[in-house]
Amino acid sequence: MTTATQAVTPTPHPLTGKRMTGAEMVVQVLADEGVEVIFGYSGGAILPTYDAVFRYNKDHTDDDGKPEMPLVVPANEQGAGFMAAGYARATGRVGVAMVTSGPGATNTVTPIRDCMADSVPIVVICGQVPRHVIGTDAFQEAPVSAIMGSVAKHVFLVTDSTKLEDTVRTAFEIARTGRPGPVVIDIPKDVQNWLGEFHGAGLLPVKSYRARVHAVTSNELEDHEAAEFFKLLGEAKRPLLYVGGGAINGNASEALRAFAERFRIPVATTLMGIGAVDTKDSLSLQMLGMHGMAYANYAVEDCDFLIAVGARFDDRVATDPESFAPNARKVAHLDVDASEVGKVRQADWQHIGLLRRDLEALTAWGEKHGFKADYSEWQQSLDEMKVTYALNYDRDSALIQPNYVLEEINRNCDGRAIIATGVGQHQMWAAQYLDFREPRLWLTSGSMGTMGFGLPAAIGAQFARPDALVIDVDGDGSMRMNLGELETVTTYGLPVKVLVLNNYGDGMVRQWQKLFYKGRMSGTDKSLFRKDFIKGAQADGFEYAVRLENKADVPKVVKEWLEFPGPAFLEVIIDRDAGVYPMVGPGLPYSQMITGDWIPSRDADTPEESPDGSSMF
């Protein structure tokens, strides 16, 4: 029997001491890390590792003969990066992309930056030219460390073959711990071909990083901090939880829901926080911010205690930081990243730590000390605002309104489907009109706003959750960005449902040009419109490819599309002039929110002048 004072000797890896190539070591570590799928495009500098993946899968199959770690080939490397991101966002696990050197690596810059901006854990393995020719402008050479260093959480260039194994493990550690993010491993071809002894364990000595992570993970909420928090909560009459993507990234949704329910505190989420609470819950105000619900934004204006959880007061929410939550006498902020606290809005109470643990600690303290407060009057006023300022649109129009299409999808899915989106009007309509009962069902490019994200992210999510209904809600502009991935869907027989809301142009840009640039359609006056998406989808192997132009057919066709057993493509020709409302112009307070023709506004104020050309999009 082992006592507490006896050291426990770890069981050695079964392959410890075996001679392997560097490429084989990389693949073995991926397997040890539990990698289920690799997304990538091959090329000369990564061929040794691709060959090692092939040989590993030949020897490791499930009962049905399927490879243990399949290699999924996209149309290009950007698609591979977004597929890895979709996998990671849908599961919370580390996604993996593997690409070759030079253009293969540089094609992943956008998804890497996208993952960094939205705190998504992926590991990108890049082939590199042999060590002795690095810096000579060799064929397909690119300075990956220099390029990626400013957009990734960390970049490794492996120049010591004996440290390769430890480097790969450490990359996964960095990607998943603390505030998650993308890590790049640049591996020269000769390091992949190197022959050495596999150790089966070991990490690089990244002491300063581990010290920072330890400072956060060990910083438990103390009783006196909880007491101070509940003192502020007890003084409040109109508290509001403002929840960001950190709550989902930190797997804190369950703890958040329990906290909100126990103390009956309403919740508004950012775009990235959608799903942290059930959007159908009575406490949910859904999304706030630039295109948030009018009632959610009014709640921010009215609240007297703002509790930020895993949110960073970014410019799409705190559009005018000085006027954001103007009646909040106090602000509390819980986050895992100290750099986000006080960056935009000073907090009267703050705690840096693990969100799930800290929310559980607050709930436990409140229950133990019998905290009680009556916020029923506040809740009643919010319930009334939900009715008065509900989403609405031109329901009598003869043209198909995108809102109507999304309402029909929502009626069929009941908030249970995984939704990936491109970026633009369709993204905001989806955020507004679709429900999400659980976290990790909403996959979108938030901070970077990357067009072309939706389709490859949906593919990654479908591999992550093969039994789930996965839908890509896209626009015609975003769809063009990674159109080649339609073939990836059919090649792998994925039952992804692809929706293109086609308004023949970049709708969000046109909306801004109408509102803020006096209708000058620069760059959108000749938007691409000759693409026949249906013929394209059919050419890529979609057996179901339908164009919907008749409003009366919307319910029937949407249901048919969703129930089709395989890949299904639906193009809907929507009202070209449909806009996304509500809308808060850049740099303007919520009191100057534009609600459009179909949603009431409680404020008579309108923008005194349009934002200038330097304003954030």
Question: What DSSP line would sit under 402-437, residue for residue?
Answer: HHHHHHHHHHHHTT-SEEEE-SSHHHHHHHHH---S
36, 68, 69, 140: the active-site residue: 140
* C-alpha 493 chain-centroid distance: 24
Instruction: For residue 342, give every residue at least 6 positions away whose Cβ sits within 8 Å of its Cβ, in sequence order, or none.
Output: 333, 350
Catalytic residue among 25, 128, 148, 189: 189
Task: Return the structure tokens found at 414.
Answer: 């009941």
The reply to whether 77 belongs to the active site is: yes
Q: What is the DSSP letter of 450?
A: -
Is 189 annotated in the active site?
yes
Rounded Cα–Cα distance for residues 39 and 23 (Å): 16
Which of 187, 164, 152, 203 lies closest to 48 in space, CA to CA?
Answer: 187
Single out the catalytic residue among 33, 77, 165, 173.
77
Counting DSSP H helices and E strands in the chain, the numbers are 23, 20
pLDDT value for 475 = 95
- Tell me how far apart the alpha carbons of residues 333 and 84 are, in angstroms, rounded to a whole number: 31
Nearest to 452 by CA among 131, 119, 57, 80: 80
Rounded to whole angstroms, the Cα distance separating 215 from 337 reads 11
pLDDT digits (tens, 9 = 90+) for 450-464: 999 999 999 999 999
pLDDT for res 527: 62
Concerning whether 54 is annotated as a catalytic residue, the answer is: no
The phi, psi pair for 499, rounded to 5°, reads: -115, 125
**Helix, coil or strand: residue 229:** helix
The CATH T-level fold of domain 19-215 is: Rossmann fold (3.40.50)
Decide yes or no: CATH 3.90.1300.10 for domain 220-388: no
Q: Convert the pLDDT of each residue in 286-299 to its tens digit.
A: 999 999 999 999 99
Tokens 């450490």: give the residue.
170
Amino acid letter, 364: A
Cα 278 from Cα 442, distance rounded (Å): 12
Please determine whether the domains at 19-215 and 220-388 fall in the same fold group of CATH: yes
Report residue 481: phi and psi, to 5°: -65, -40
Catalytic residue among 54, 139, 346, 368: 139
Residue 512, pLDDT score: 66
Please give the Cα distance from 94 to 36 (Å, whole number). 10
Domain ranges of the chain: 19-215, 220-388, 402-573
CA separation for the pair 299, 266 (Å, rounded): 9
Topology of domain 402-573 in CATH is Rossmann fold (3.40.50)
Q: Kindly give the parts of the chain with pLDDT less than 50.
A: 1-2, 608-610, 612-616
Candidate list 428, 481, 508, 583, residue with the active-site label: 508
